[in-house]
Chains A and B, each alone.
Chain A
Amino acid sequence: MTTQSLIDRQSIIVLSLLAATAVLVPVLNTVAPPGSALHLSDYLVPLLGKYLCFALLALSVDLIWGFCGILSLGHGAFFALGGYAMGMYLMRQIGSRGVYADPILPDFMVFLNWRELPWFWHGFDWFPIAALMVIAAPGLLAFIFGWFAFRSRVTGVYLSIITQAMTFALMLAFFRNDMGFGGNNGLTDFKEILGFPIQSGSTRIVLFVLSTVALAAGYLLCKWIVNSKLGKVLVAVRDAESRTRFLGYRVEIYKLAVFTLSAMIAGVAGALYVPQVGIINPSEFAPANSIEVVIWVAVGGRGTLAGAILGALVVNAGKTWFTGALPEFWLFALGGLFVFVTLLMPRGILGGGTDLWAKVRRSRTRHAPGGLPYAAE
């Protein structure tokens, strides 16, 4: 067999945990009576949903960084673009219920004295178009960006820097009112999604469950890719790029394909994030956000997929706790964590755990009568 089975032990664990989450969270929120120890309060549902979106974003970064060596420090841009596409749909759903009660124009456009909808807002009142743009907008940007960057063989730290520049430029652009995306305030005050009230408990539960489904689907997609021969070529590019070229592989095409796909996954994550947090604004493009994603992946374990999910969940849970308890210290804690992981756990929680487990098993084998001696050089 060329490919390992898609359903290996790691997949089973990840998928069953996600399935359990998708069932338990709604049950604990709705069935368990408020006040009981098991009850999950209403504000936690979208919070956990947000973590899952971040986990999907981390997964998209791990696919390109962990397996193909492309360190993107601008993936927040693709996440934000997916979020804006969803936000535009949600804005159009407000209709005449806005403050200025204009049936067509979102409030901020009325405020800016705009007479008609800009051309690029057309069609966003129709969900399928918006859903398509959630994938197409980040995908197109990644394709164009990647086309130039990979064809010119920009690699390593230079590539990382231009991805930072890309997200920073987009942030500045989206801050401008005349860009037509709500400027500084972004898009907010959403009322409903597909006819369901966006604030209601049941909508939030559905969005939460959809986030787990999207994460599971994203995980399986990435797993499929890294287990295929394509995945082997990506690792080959990561470890010995010129060797791969001299074998006849067009490295830039591989990078472009996986980078574009990764941006699309990030876009989906952003689109699920926006209705759960209720706002999208240019600060999502902030360069620091994209760097944070890389830290999640590094903490969880680069190149393991499951590690990216774990890292995103652990770091964000830590962030929520920290910003509540010791808000001034969060950035120090994050920085310290990154230094700690880089120096002492270069393979992250999951990689470190696997190594430890292998060591334990090895010493057991060594001591077991008739066991094979450890044979590595």
Chain B
Amino acid sequence: MSEPITPTLLYLDNVTVSFDGFRALNALSLAIDHAEMRAIIGPNGAGKTTMMDVITGKTRPNQGTALFEGVHDLTVLDEAAIAELGIGRKFQTPTVFDMHNVEDNLLLALKGERGPFAALFSRRTTRERERIEALLERVRLSAHRYRKAGELSHGQKQWLEIGMLLAQEPKLLLVDEPAAGMTDQETADTADLLRDIAKTRAVVVVEHDMTFVRDLGVKVTCLHEGSVLAEGSLDAVSANERVIEVYLGR
């Protein structure tokens, strides 16, 4: 690996993705720093999910640069390799392994060997057990560790998925609408949790809930038609004429 081209953790430059002529991303450029939290807002179809797909290797851009830690080219790696680099992703609808209990969900997510033979002969170590304990504590699911994930409430599933993300020990977390379908209290708790996580890792949060974004209190990027419309503090962005026009409404 050569010298880092950029000091930022995540660097997107001029990224374009077209689906049958429709430009889901149109020359998008974005930079996320180490241990930075960024909120991404924007109307439906603005390209928020496509952006996450590009970063995690699910979608290949037609052109543009996507670099992680200045050296890893995300446009040529597959999902598993990108996850190994330290990028974790939470889906919009909570996606956990319904038939496994909460503990096993975390176990599968724990950073470690990912090959089938390693998995066949793996035995749970004390270190892993402690990690799981700590994670259960952190996402407040200690009391539910032996329940099947499918039996959890919507909010608990969201938290379990965040716990699974943390178990991967990623450098960058991509979190898609973490507050969707949550009660006010749960939403506030989730904001707390994410702020706490962002002390040590970079977090990108896609969210529609403006109260939640305000709770986060971080730099905001507003996407529209596949490119950045405005960037800055929430107050600055929400005062932007164009943002009001296309997203917030008058």
Interface residues in chain A, defined as those with a beta carbon under 8 Å from any beta carbon in chain B = 1-3, 225, 228-230, 232-233, 235-236, 239-240, 242-251, 253-254, 257-258, 376-377
Contact = CB atoms under 8 A, between A and B. Distances in A.
Given A232-B104, A257-B116, 7 more contacts: A3-B123, A235-B99, A240-B95, A240-B97, A242-B95, A248-B114, A249-B80
B116 A253 contact: yes
B115 interface: yes
Contacts, number: 83
B124 A243 contact: no
B80 A236 contact: no
Interface of B: 56, 58, 78-80, 83-84, 88-89, 91, 95-100, 104, 107-109, 114-116, 119-124, 151, 153, 164, 168
Nearest to A3: B123
Residue with the greatest number of chain A CB neighbours at <10 A, chosen from B95, B108, B151:
B108
B115 A228 contact: no
Given A2-B123, A376-B151, A245 B97 contact: no
Nearest to A2: B124
Given A247-B168, A248-B114, A248-B168, A229 B99 contact: no
B120 A228 contact: yes
Contact of B91 (A239, A243, A257): A243
Given A236-B108, A247-B168, A254 B83 contact: no
Nearest to B153: A377
A248 B151 CA distance: 25
Contacts of A233: 108, 116, 119
B145 to A, nearest CB: 14
Contacts of B97: 235-236, 239-240, 243
A253 B83 contact: no
A193 to B, nearest CB: 34
Nearest to A249: B114
B124 A1 contact: yes
Contacts of A254: 116
A240 B107 contact: no
B107 A245 contact: no
B107 A248 contact: no
Contacts of B79: 242, 245-246
Nearest to A253: B116
Contacts of B153: 377
B79 to A, nearest CB: 4
B99 A247 contact: no
A248 B108 CA distance: 10
Nearest first, the 10 A-B pairs at minimum CB distance are A248-B83, A2-B124, A230-B119, A245-B79, A230-B120, A229-B119, A229-B122, A243-B95, A250-B80, A257-B116
A242 B123 CA distance: 25
Nearest to B128: A2
A249 B109 CA distance: 9
B151 A247 contact: no
